[in-house]
Amino acid sequence: MVVALADSFFFDVDLDGARSRVLAFLLVGFAPFLVVARLIGPVIDRFRGGRRAVIITVAVVRIGVQVAMIVFADQLLLFPLVFAALVLQKTYAVSKQALVPAVVTSADDLVEANSKLGTIAGLAGTFAVVPAGGLQYVFGSGATLAYGTTFLIVAAVLAFGLPDDTTIDAAAPVATDGASTGSDVHVAWVAMTVLRFGVGFTLFQIAFWFRADGAPTLWLGAAIGVGSGAPLIANLIGPKLKNVLGEERVLAGALVIATVVAAGACIVGGYAMAALVSFTMNFALASGRLAFEAIVQRDGPASNRGAAFAGFETRFQFGWVAGASVPLLIDMAGSTGLGYLAVVTGVAAVTYIVGASANRPPATRSRVVQAIAQGR
């Protein structure tokens, strides 16, 4: 779908054009999250037949939407169809996160399961884009959308093999309201929001910085390219990091490494360091996300995971939009922007480390220390 709509309003954004137009693009991208959080999230937890039924339904409806996009590719109706497709995609993502605990044997396997899902998604997206680009070039958007529809059909069939994860406790608290005491959920989501803020800020800060300096296009492509590849690496090594550090320390480490690299890039300067920051921020976000999802899946109420993940995703996307908006509204030099990023992530790192330590019971802290000492 992304390849087929490459020439539409959603992706026809000129970074040298009016900043207000880019800001409008960001708001359009944020809108689907509001629908998922307010309307779809609670429905996921109450849907008759459980979350498996939600995933099957989403796949079937997306098939219909994709076919309709083929018919109305050159008409105004295309835009609400794209919006519907985005809402359905977010609904699937939230349902998938809520369903993960039902397909693992223990809480210790959550990070590995999330890691495998992220790796599969990254590889599938990469390999799917190549033939999609060829179809788009030779036959146009209709053929590309039809090609994408075949994947949705396969997804609908495979979804019938998922476990029936039917929820039963409608009165249970939702993780987003801070009711899950004894866990790090309510401080972890703030840390994740800052990481998403940092990634949004980094992308647009580098883009405007490079364009303003007249940097060769190759440098901008390199910065975006290494940033796009970082999540795949994070997903591959995520389980190993979790086994050594634990979920909370992985999330704390993501903030720390983002701070150190941004501060170093601010001091050293240069396009290469900016590309390193792009890689580091995306790597930190992907690593932190694995840890955060496992924390919510482990500590959050099982019956309201759909609403919880929908609410968190909305907050995270708001963080991304807020971060991306800063370079649009404030013209900062390259090194100044990287210094600003280091301050934001540094404050978040200290806040999370202090908050997570305060939330962890003394007995739990001692067990963690003993496990590290024994090399587990």
Task: Look up the CATH number of the domain holding residue 305.
Answer: 1.20.1250.20
Average the pLDDT over 126-143 and give the result. 80
Domain stops at, among 131, 159, 187:
159
Tell me, yes or no, whether 147 and 185 share the same domain.
Answer: no
Tell me, yes or no, whether 200 and 328 share the same domain.
Answer: yes
- The per-residue pLDDT for 169 is 46
Residue 26 within a domain: yes
Range of the domain at 232: 175-373
Residue 165 within a domain: no
Tell me, yes or no, whether 154 and 193 share the same domain.
Answer: no
- Which of 62-66, 117-121, 159-163, 310-314 has the weakest average pLDDT? 310-314
**The pLDDT of residue 145 is above 60:** yes
d(CA 283, CA 46): 34
Tell me, yes or no, whether 214 and 92 share the same domain.
Answer: no
Tell me, yes or no, whether 116 and 217 share the same domain.
Answer: no
Residue 153 within a domain: yes
More confident residue, 64 or 54: 64
Structure tokens at 177: 């309201």
Residue 75 within a domain: yes
Tell me, yes or no, whether 138 and 193 share the same domain.
Answer: no
Geometric angle at alpha carbon 99, from 94 and 101, rounded to 5°? 125
Residue 180's CB is within 10 A of a number of other CB atoms, namely 21
More confident residue, 19 or 210: 210
- The per-residue pLDDT for 317 is 80
The closest of 352, 373, 369, 37 to 191, measured between CA atoms, is 352
- Where helices occur in 106-184 by DSSP H, the ranges are 110-138, 141-159
- Where helices occur in 5-77 by DSSP H, the ranges are 19-35, 41-46, 50-71
Structure tokens at 196: 């998403």
| Count of domains forming the chain | 2
Tell me, yes or no, whether 103 and 189 share the same domain.
Answer: no
Domain stops at, among 117, 132, 159:
159
Domain stops at, among 159, 184, 204:
159
Average the pLDDT over 277-285 and give the result. 93
- The per-residue pLDDT for 34 is 66
User: What is the pLDDT confidence band of residue 289, given thresholds at 50, 70 and 90?
Assistant: confident
pTM over 0.85? The answer is no
d(CA 5, CA 145): 9
Average pLDDT, the chain: 77
**The pLDDT of residue 161 is above 50:** yes
- The per-residue pLDDT for 243 is 80
Tell me, yes or no, whether 180 and 318 share the same domain.
Answer: yes
